[in-house]
Amino acid sequence: MSVCYNIHDTLFFPQEDASIKPALAEKWEKLDDMTWKITLRKGVTFHNGEPLNAKAVKFSLDRVFDPEIKCPHKGKLSAFKEIKVLDELSFEIKTAKPFAPGLYMLGIYLPIVPPDYIKKVGNTKYNTNPVGCGPYKLAKWVRGESVILERYENYYGPKPYYSKVVFKTVPEATSRVAALVTGEVDVISGIAVHQRKNILESGKAYLTSQMGVMPYLGINTYEPPFDDVRVRQAVNYAINRELINKALFNGKAILCNGPISPRTFGHAPDLKPYAFDPAKAKALLKEAGYPNGIEVRLAYPTYMSQIQEQVEAIAANLTESGIKAKLEPFERAVMWQRYKGKKHQLYVYWWDDAPEPDRYMYSLFNSKSRDYYYKNETIDVLLDLGRTIIDRTERAKVYNEIDRILYKDCPWAYLYVIPEVFGVSNKVFYKGDRDGFMNMRWAKPKN
């Protein structure tokens, strides 16, 4: 994904407050609650010289809904129903009904791609030889080892400082830290707390962070014992979030009081995170008919940063409260297949700490979108409403109510928002990106 962020641009640059700024789109006008007229910048070209135009935007959006592509962002853009080319640089885009976060979602999930090139080489070759109109172009890809990008000299925006960027595949965290302090690489991510001291003491690099991801403990509410809300609440009372935060994240995480991140528009700030209360958890289990506790399976993806430390701490907390958890580690493909097949009982996963709640709430909790172990018709109605209300104040009230309902119903055990920490060479100035990806257009020499 980091490579994609450097190769591709979208119509808009999303901001921290979920507003947007111009990117490939130069200006836009809302014609009604379901229609925008958008005008592109003049003179923008793809890396192969193909011109950016309204037809390319239409091709890119149509491609999202092509069943052969199997685009993972199809659901995020499903509200868009029609795009009409007006002239070389202008088009109208329509939704089936009002879609408040529409332009923001286009800025996140619709990279604009070159139609002539893709029609010529086909989708399979395009996946290994992508062409975009972002600040860097693909120079070389050695699968499993590295990706080399070169600065695109005809980029329409401010040109990045570095003429070449090499993304190296280094799966082991200790090796990444060693590569940074020896000067082999300039920027790394996925740094455990106990490794940060080594970076700082080296005198060769510094740490910078952005709030990155929101891990959560998902619960299969369809099967016993978790079809009982009291058992789900017991799980929430069983977790010592404050201790995990101090031990694993040096106290830098933000404890969550519901499924909507405290940094996201629409969350309910007056709700308090569930307190660590093993006695309360045991009492709820007894009330639900489990006086001797329960045994459960806790699945987790092995590729997630610091995941082992987190699940071990969570499992220990659960056991203390009468919920004996057997850990089940899975590789990415198996974890995801079991996830979709409703094979998990408890599972740790994560989502972006995004400023726009619809970016994740609709896909995770609307049972008509994707059925993720939970169904609540009231939530379905409210999530649809949150998409269609245009007024920001009224939208906030809807998501506030969603937060309150899910806080009590506990389809998840709510955990924390953790910072994505980057280690950066003293030679480089780079602040990191909120999504945890490395967008190197912002990197430059450190003064």
pLDDT of residue 201: 95
Per CATH, 2-119 and 211-419 having the same topology is answered: no
Which CATH code is given to the segment(s) 211-419? 3.10.105.10
- Cα–Cα distance between 41 and 25 in angstroms, integer? 6
Beta-bridge partner residues of 40: 25
Which segments of 35-146 does DSSP mark as H helices, in order?
54-64, 102-109, 115-128
What are the boundaries of each domain within the chain? 2-119, 211-419
Q: What is the pLDDT of residue 13?
A: 94
The confidence score (pLDDT) of residue 434 equals 66
Pick the CATH number of 2-119 from 3.40.50.300, 3.60.21.10, 3.40.50.2000, 3.90.76.10: 3.90.76.10
Q: State the Cα–Cα distance between residues 317 and 311, nearest whole angstrom.
A: 10
Mean pLDDT of the chain: 94
Which pLDDT tens digit goes with each residue over 305-343? 789 999 999 999 999 999 999 999 999 899 989 988 899
Note the pLDDT of residue 250: 87
In this prediction, the residues of the chain whose per-residue pLDDT falls under 50 are none
Q: What integer pLDDT is reported at residue 54 of this predicted model? A: 99
What pLDDT does residue 436 have? 67
Cβ atoms within 10 Å of 381's Cβ, excluding its own: 12
